Chain A
Amino acid sequence: MSVPTELGYTAKHEWVAVEDGIATVGITSFAAESLGDIVFVELPEVGSEVTAGEPSGEVESTKSVSDIYSPVSGEVVEVNESLEDAPETINTAPFEGGWLFRARLAEEPSGLLSAEEYTKLTEGEE
């Protein structure tokens, strides 16, 4: 299982990458593998506000529906529209083409886990 070292993580299996005050958010490969084939994603609207720790969308697989918890607070500036027709990208490239949305940070993210900490967490769940 891959856990890129340059990203921040949440205990609820989201990842976040911050560049120039913009956070890109997705779910980890561990989450994608646990869910199975992802068939539908509901993303927040561009211009809406997301709050760290609060639900900001949904991911549905063949057998489950899961909330996406935003790891950051801020205004959504872009969503990955390609997921509408190809939600399976989250399974094939969770850290790249499967990103979910980008938000302009209202505040510096806090409480994120390092790759090492996140890996330990998932080893406990396996």
Chain B
Amino acid sequence: MATPLHDTTPILSGVPMSDPASAPRATALREVHEKAGATLVDFAGWLMPLRYGSETAEHKAVREAAGLFDLSHMGEIRLTGPQAAEALDFALVGHLSQVKVGRARYTMITDAGGGVLDDLIVYRLGEGEYLVVANAANVPVVAAALAERAEGFDVEVADESADHALIAIQGPRAVEILAPLTDADLDGIRYYAGYEHTVAGQPVLLARTGYTGEDGFEIFVRPAAKAPLVWEALMAEGERHGLVPAGLSARDTLRMEAGMPLYGQELTAELTPFDAGLGRVVKFEKEGDFVGRGALEEASRTARPRRLIGLVARGRRPLRKGQDVLRDGETVGTLTSGAPSPTLGRPIAMAYVDGDLDTSTGAFTVDVRGRGEDVDVVELPFYKRQP
């Protein structure tokens, strides 16, 4: 067994590993992670915590108490100006001019052919101010596309990724832990809302968003150098509530249980939002042209309907991205994500299949290195928190 051992899946699949010749960038929280004993890995060009101890324990802490994540590798691109809304309506598939100040929207950016360049969360901070949050690996592409598409609009586009740290606190105890540290009335912040507030005395954008299937908040800290202060304050307050630092390994299994797509796996530039079964994010009803409109209108009519299904293994052998799923011995799809699920205690996976595939009959198996593992087809998500 060599170390690093023969990964059949990249250590965190979905994102291309950065060029080994260039050293990964460290976040403002690197020393905090090292002190906490984190295993740090190169993820999309950033040195990020994979786990601190047991990733399974971190996953369970988020489901049962709370977890603290460093997501500073994510990109923040700010659009400011009287035509910021119009520029985003042109640049993205969503109807961003309709988003109210203080609210956020899940959306996508596509190329002219309708291929997904990234999935995004866009916060409207003011009448003429938006913050676009992009996946780490896609920041250069998204920032360049936004700058290009904003030409001719009265708006400034600024890639502020390097100025921001992003800390997420996720889990059923997140509100209790955060409340004494902020000036915000947390009950007043709805899901997919975000406002300027303070946390641990620092001015932040405090948003009720996340990628775990739990209640929680994402805290955009600027300047990034203030992040350790916010992190330490949350850890100190949260310890008695069961808060633990959680790494990217737990984040991946949490989002998978919640049935959430990951760019590079469920979403790629080869797929339109319609191919991915997420055509609802494309808002044809908005006025005027937008990048990809023609191709997407075509795709909305012609894309072979597909759907993302959930698979739960009957055995214990983990299912992995790239393996084939078969019905009665016939290949019907390929796994886009797969992992052992700490909540279900069984391996789970997601796969695209034809929209008209009848999944109610037949014996489903996954080809795990030549072995047929029995699986059951289930509706997504695998896990839904109790309201």
Q: Which residues of A contact B (CB under 8 A)?
A: 12-14, 27, 30-31, 34-37, 39-40, 42, 59-60, 62-69, 84, 87-88, 91, 125
Contact = CB atoms under 8 A, between A and B. Distances in A.
Nearest to A122: B3
A82 to B, nearest CB: 13
A64 B8 contact: yes
> Majority SS of interface residues in chain B?
loop
A88 B57 CA distance: 12
Q: Which 9 A-B pairs have the closest CB atoms?
A: A66-B5, A39-B340, A13-B1, A65-B8, A64-B7, A12-B1, A37-B56, A34-B3, A66-B1
A63 B13 CA distance: 9
Interface stretch (B89-97, B112-120, B299-307, B314-322): B314-322
Contacts of A65: 6-9, 318, 320
Given A40-B316, A40-B317, A59 B1 contact: yes
A91 B56 CA distance: 12
Given A36-B39, A65-B320, 18 more contacts: A31-B5, A34-B5, A35-B5, A36-B50, A36-B54, A39-B318, A39-B347, A40-B317, A59-B1, A62-B55, A62-B340, A63-B9, A63-B11, A64-B9, A65-B9, A68-B1, A87-B316, A88-B56
A95 to B, nearest CB: 15
B3 A60 contact: no
B3 A31 contact: yes
Contacts of A63: 7, 9, 11-12, 50, 249, 339
B21 interface: no
Interface in B157-211: none
17 contacts: A31-B1, A34-B4, A36-B50, A36-B51, A39-B340, A40-B317, A40-B340, A62-B55, A62-B318, A62-B339, A63-B12, A63-B339, A64-B4, A65-B7, A65-B318, A84-B316, A91-B54
B249 A62 contact: yes
Given A62-B340, A65-B8, A84-B316, A36 B249 contact: yes
A65 B318 CA distance: 9
Contacts of B253: 62
